[in-house]
A and B are shown apart, each in its own frame.
Chain A
Amino acid sequence: MGGVTPFLVEARGLAVGYGGRALVSGIDLTLRAGETLCLLGPNGVGKTTLFRTLLGLAPALSGEVRLKGAALADLTRREIAARLAYAPQFLATPFAYRALDVVLMGASAKLGAFARPGPEEEARALAALAALGAEDLAQAEVTRLSGGQRQMVLLARALAQEAGAVVMDEPTASLDFANRLQVEAAVRALAGRGMGVILSTHDPDQAARLGDRAILIGREGLIASGPTDAAMTAENLSRLYGVALRREILSDGAVHFR
């Protein structure tokens, strides 16, 4: 590598899908520390499948994924977890775990098979919650939290996992306005701490707000991938959603598509 820091996440010529059938192919992406990469596209184009492929949960149909320079195919489950965390859209457990217990689960990549988290891991989990301003949730049962609060718990777990990068599957999709702002602030906080963030969203304005880079995947395949300003043109977004869109700069400098 010659002193060059490898990308946290890097994909080259990646094709993803299942049952041997490709949903999207030709994906190139890179993610550096502190960067946020937003993935835009309608439902069913393979956003979640792309995430599962990056996490090694689904095999790549062709192309290559590297995490911190190491080929995904050569990494164990534990090594992958130490490089790339996953924040699912929903916390899918029926049990009333305390939020702190869920965040503690982020420690599993670093704990031995027979080990249980101790005071050290607990302190790290509490610090992760505090970093996102969610320390008062620690003792609450996750089944009683709002969607936004649960998302904060999942992001805190990703932080506690100390993976360097995280993949978030539509973190704000099912949230109301206030919760969406809170989760966006948490995403910024993670990036501000040097984490690389990949997230999918249905809101181009949000992608323009949060993202340093963007990937647009439409029904016919990959539309654009690159720095946000270059990838998120009015033309590309119009193609992506199949409706004519204009790109506007609001008085506060925010990008708005309508």
Chain B
Amino acid sequence: MNERLISSALALGLVLALLIGAMIGPYPLSPGRIFGILAGDRSDPQAAVVLWNLRLPRVLAAAAVGGALAAAGAAYQTIFRNPLVSPDILGVSAGAGFGATLGILLGLPVMAIQMLGFGMGLLAVILVLGLSWALRGEGQILVMVLCGVAVGALAGAGISLVKLLADPDQQLPAITFWLMGSLAGIKRPDLWAASPAVLIGLAPLILLRWRIGLLSLGDDEARALGVEAGRLRLLVVACATLMTAAVTAMAGIVGWVGLMAPHMARLLVGPRFDRLLPAAALLGASFMVLTDLAARSLATMEIPLGVLTAVIGAPIFLWLLARRARIWAE
């Protein structure tokens, strides 16, 4: 009952965040007008264009980015039994970042840039999984994390090289801005491109959410409880990575949400993954919608999302760290 109450409150919070995000902007929209347009009212074509072509794609994209990163972070933390990992751990963000910056350098169209970012993010994970499999030892989880660090460093070197080669007037600002994360210029096709991958990644996590939680006990215990631990873990990694790569290709590198939202959710609903996953995803989505709202309305120019998430996320994370006994054991 309590669980259902919290989920409903979080879902309501997301709806409110989406509504507020859709209302505020250079062309303000009242809640009544928004519901009217959504219901098919065509009396104000300009407001309809603002809502359908600008506001809605943007708030929905923000929700998708925050929800996907938070869900992926909760999954990674649970299956690696490590409360300090996040979607960056497997080199996904850096790999996707390298792909997208390379696309910008080559002057590719936006869709191709996204595809390249997505492909490189997946490639980074395949590389990390392959390497950790080849170097397989007793501490396989540690090996995997360290392979992620190594592949991430390689991708980081690639990004530096691309920045060096980029045209300093046109491409370099675009690359820099993208690397800091931004939803400026999001259009409906961008959303259509990213959402299938997010949904395909999210569905198995939701369906299998209780069993996935058993992986937090470690392989031997999970297997002794009847779980095909190796296979399930691989599936979870693939799903979480797919979601991360898809939203990174759309919005650039947005840090902290994937680390922080699962921790906040754990404070609310506890560590059980079947409760943690929806709570973390809803919190992450609401947080990102509001952060993106701040990014586009605090100043005359857009503040990069990555900057804001770090400024908000770092203190919250430190606060969580101070209360760590409530969240994880020493």
| Residues of A near any B CB (own CB < 8 A) | 52, 55-57, 77-78, 80-82, 84-86, 88, 91-98, 101, 105-106, 108-109, 111, 113-117, 143, 161
Contacts and interface: CB of A to CB of B under 8 A. Distances in A.
Contacts of B220: 52, 55, 57, 86, 88
B227 A108 contact: yes
Interface string B60-84: 0000000000000000001001110
Interface string B209-236: 1110110111011011111100000000
Given A55-B224, A57-B224, A82-B226, A143 B328 contact: yes
B39 interface: no
A92 B328 contact: no
B328 A108 contact: no
A115 B226 CA distance: 14
Given A96-B328, A97-B271, A143-B328, A108 B226 contact: yes
Contact of A95 (B207, B208, B224, B271): B271
Contact of B217 (A57, A78, A93, A111): A93
A81 B270 contact: no
A121 to B, nearest CB: 10
A163 to B, nearest CB: 9
B329 interface: yes
Contact of A113 (B208, B213, B329): B208
A56 B220 CA distance: 10
B210 to A, nearest CB: 4
Given A97-B270, A105-B217, A143-B328, A116 B224 contact: no
Given A108-B214, A114-B208, A94 B328 contact: yes
A162 to B, nearest CB: 12
Nearest to A91: B217
Contacts of A111: 210-211
A161 B329 contact: no
Interface in B187-215: 207-211, 213-214
A86 B216 CA distance: 16
Nearest to B272: A101
B274 interface: yes
A3 B223 CA distance: 32
Q: Which 9 A-B pairs have the closest CB atoms?
A: A81-B226, A86-B224, A95-B271, A109-B226, A143-B329, A78-B226, A116-B210, A94-B328, A108-B225
A85 B82 contact: no
B164 to A, nearest CB: 41
19 contacts: A52-B220, A55-B223, A77-B223, A84-B224, A86-B220, A88-B220, A91-B217, A94-B216, A95-B328, A95-B329, A96-B270, A96-B326, A97-B272, A101-B270, A105-B217, A108-B225, A109-B225, A116-B209, A116-B210
Given A95-B78, A143-B325, 14 more contacts: A55-B224, A57-B220, A77-B226, A80-B224, A81-B224, A81-B225, A91-B217, A93-B216, A95-B327, A97-B270, A98-B270, A105-B214, A108-B214, A108-B226
B254 to A, nearest CB: 25
Contacts of A91: 217
Nearest to A55: B224
Interface in B114-150: none
A215 to B, nearest CB: 20
A57 B218 CA distance: 12
A113 B210 CA distance: 9
